Amino acid sequence: MLVALVLPPLFVHRLAPTEYSVWVLILQCSAYVNLLDLGLQAAIGKFVAEYDAVGDFTGSSRILSNSFAILCVSALIGALGIALVVWRVPELFHQMPTSLVGDLRVGILTVGLSTVIALPFNAFLAVFTGLQKYGFPTVLTFISKISSSAALAGILLLHGTLVQLVWALAIFNVATALSQFVGWKKYARERVSCSWRLVGREVAVKLARYGSVLSIWTVAMLFITGLDMIIVGHYDFKDAGYYGIAGAVANFMVLVISSLFGPLLPAISSLQSGRTSSQIGDLTIKATRYCTLLVCLVGSPLVFGAYPLLKLWVGHDYAMHSVVFLQILVLGNAIRQLGYPYALAVVATGKQHLATVAGVTEAFVNLSVSIYLVQKIGALGVAIGTLVGAFFSLGAHFAVSMALTRSTITMSRRHFASDGLLRPLSCVLPALLLLPIWRRTDMLPYGPPWTAAWSLGTLGIAWLIGLTPAERQGVKKALSYWHTHLWRNPRAT
């Protein structure tokens, strides 16, 4: 979160808008390599959690070994894909100044190949998810992000070039990948081993069967979010940097939610054998309520205070050009995230093939609307495509997927809608009531009294309606414990 807040202002103030657009496109094109993960990180997390729960060391080790082997093959395919993109850069981004074509090619090649090298090593970090040991991944991610960001910031402050920036990022990508292997060897090897001798057809087929449907989800996500910057860069290059800033903020919200709710997948996987389908359903509804509450609390300020927040962050010019993109993208991503806990539960129970309709439908609608509207109204059309597609995604989950998965996730859709969605969504009412005032202020802050009323109203409804009495009591006990044992007497722990 700190990195997401600190780096973009440096980039937009140290690079010209066209150069920042090139930087965003480098990151986006390189990120496509991660699509060749084929759902194996999720598979490792699920199967390792299941095998470890029953003490099956050999089973866990076979999963890791075969996953690593498959990802090595995927990395080779990724290298060929990077070479193809580098070759076709002038045709893909024909509106880009010719003076920047060389930098874009070098950037995609350098960062892309570093991502290719890192791809197989992601398997070792996924082991920690399956073991539900988050200490090492947290420390590694923190050190990696802070160090790489400090290096990029230093290069920017010293007026470095785009080529220097991409080389720095590539070096840290490779270093982080190698650190994942070292961390697994030191902290997890005793519980999950890896050896070429354990690679076999039976486990590979099992992983392929499980990951094949997740791959459909991955490809769907490519069409949902992964092509946005490419479409904008191709049809409306002048707005690519502004759209990238809005996308960075929207991704910030998604990052917060996915970080907090991601552990739900291995948790449900390890609990599945001891819980009934109704209990899994109740857990899904509860997690959805928490997720919706968090989406509202994080997303509301980003929508209703978009301009002042952007102005404070990246300045007036970027704020004026990015504000509408941000509001629409946050709304679209917020709506999609309402179904995130349910999607995690589906993957954890191994029924992802029954819920592909949501991802495929959203991908088709998103891409179709985006390509049609970008030719009519520019980059704004791509943002609208994201919003429209998100509605179709949530609707498909509700109308189709939940009916197909009720044997493993048993819950009333009416209960899901009322308790999981509508109840926490009530905390956006203060923002909606202030909407006429917000319109009159032309995207300026309300002023202290109105801001205070908005904040207190939102938090009050979230506390009184979003949480149950038992949950409120639990929060009070946790705060009391924290105050007594951690704040007043830290040595007591």
Report the distance separating Cα 10 and Cα 154, nearest Å: 10
Average pLDDT, the chain: 86
Q: Are 464 and 423 in contact (CB under 8 A)?
A: no
Return the closest-CA partner of residue 344 out of 404, 288, 276, 299.
Answer: 288
- Is residue 396, in this structure, part of any structural domain at all? no
- Is residue 349, in this structure, part of any structural domain at all? no
- Is residue 185, in this structure, part of any structural domain at all? yes
pTM over 0.85: no
Q: Quick one: pLDDT at residue 5?
A: 72
Q: For 154, how many CA atoms within 13 A lie in the half-sphere containing its CB?
A: 8
Give the pLDDT confidence of 80-126 residue by residue, as tens digits: 999 999 998 888 888 888 888 899 999 999 999 999 999 999 999 98
- Is residue 223, in this structure, part of any structural domain at all? no
The number of distinct structural domains making up the chain is: 1
- Residues of the chain below pLDDT 50: 492-493
Q: Are 96 and 18 in contact (CB under 8 A)?
A: yes
- Is residue 259, in this structure, part of any structural domain at all? no
User: From the DSSP assignment, how many helices (H) and strands (E) are in the chain?
Assistant: 26, 0
Q: Quick one: pLDDT at residue 493?
A: 47
- Is residue 63, in this structure, part of any structural domain at all? yes
Cα separation values, 112 from 79, 230, 241, 261, 414, Å: 8, 15, 20, 29, 46
Tokens of 106: 């070098």
Q: Quick one: pLDDT at residue 376?
A: 92
Give the pLDDT confidence of 336-345 residue by residue, as tens digits: 999 999 988 8
Q: Quick one: pLDDT at residue 160?
A: 87
- Is residue 145, in this structure, part of any structural domain at all? yes
Domain that holds residue 197: 1-206
- Is residue 276, in this structure, part of any structural domain at all? no
